């Protein structure tokens, strides 16, 4: 069985930086534990990646908070999760938007050829986690896809609960709700 873990955007700017929010840091031990449990060859992570022109992009015009600029401290992965990802030699995917760009051959080459089970964890549940769940459903239409509710969160708790409902409506299993 081909099982993979995707850690979505668990970066400093989303935890304790420009877009950080209370509670995001509490996910760190559980995400790090999941990374280590999946182990080498089974873990991928995404990094929200922007550049100096961020405010001139569609996202920047709609969310005018500079964050995750490539190479800055806020772009770096956070805490124990960062160490765990390094230990298991996780595969990193820099993404310029909410979801991974599967039309980019460089991204497609990094992903496994097939997957039976995919679990997503990370931030932010109602933006990049849900976007990547949909992207991965498109890439692996027969895979069982899940999101661990104990390993994801949002700056808006009500919206977080709504997106968990939406994920279930998209046939994504929500664990530990």
The residue assigned the tokens 């964890």 is 121
108-141 per-position pLDDT tens digit:
999 999 999 999 999 999 999 999 999 999 999 9
Cα–Cα dist 52/109, whole Å: 27
* Integer angstrom CA distances of residue 62 from 52, 59, 66, 104: 16, 5, 11, 24
Which stretches of the chain score pLDDT less than 70? none
pTM for the complete prediction?
0.97
Residue 125's pLDDT is 98
Question: Domain extents for the chain?
Answer: 3-175
Topology given in CATH for the domain delimited by 3-175: Rossmann fold (3.40.50)
Cα–Cα dist 174/97, whole Å: 24
90-117 per-position pLDDT tens digit:
999 999 999 999 999 999 999 999 999 9
Residue 2's pLDDT is 97
């Amino acid at each position: 069985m081909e099982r993979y873990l995707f850690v979505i955007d668990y970066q400093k700017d989303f935890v304790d930086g420009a877009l950080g929010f209370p509670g995001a840091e509490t996910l760190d031990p559980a995400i790090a534990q999941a990374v280590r449990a999946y182990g080498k060859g089974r873990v991928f992570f995404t990094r929200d990646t922007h550049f100096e022109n961020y405010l001139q992009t569609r996202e920047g015009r709609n969310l005018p908070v500079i964050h995750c600029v490539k190479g800055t401290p806020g772009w770096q992965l956070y805490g124990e999760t960062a160490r765990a990802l390094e230990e298991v030699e996780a595969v990193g995917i820099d993404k310029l938007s909410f979801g991974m760009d599967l039309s980019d051959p460089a991204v497609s080459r990094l992903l496994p050829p097939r997957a039976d089970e995919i679990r997503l964890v990370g931030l932010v549940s109602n933006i990049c986690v849900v976007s990547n769940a949909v992207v991965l459903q498109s890439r692996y239409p027969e895979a069982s896809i899940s999101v661990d509710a104990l390993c994801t969160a949002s700056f808006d708790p009500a919206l977080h609960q709504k997106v968990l409902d939406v994920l279930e409506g998209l046939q994504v299993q929500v664990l530990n709700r």
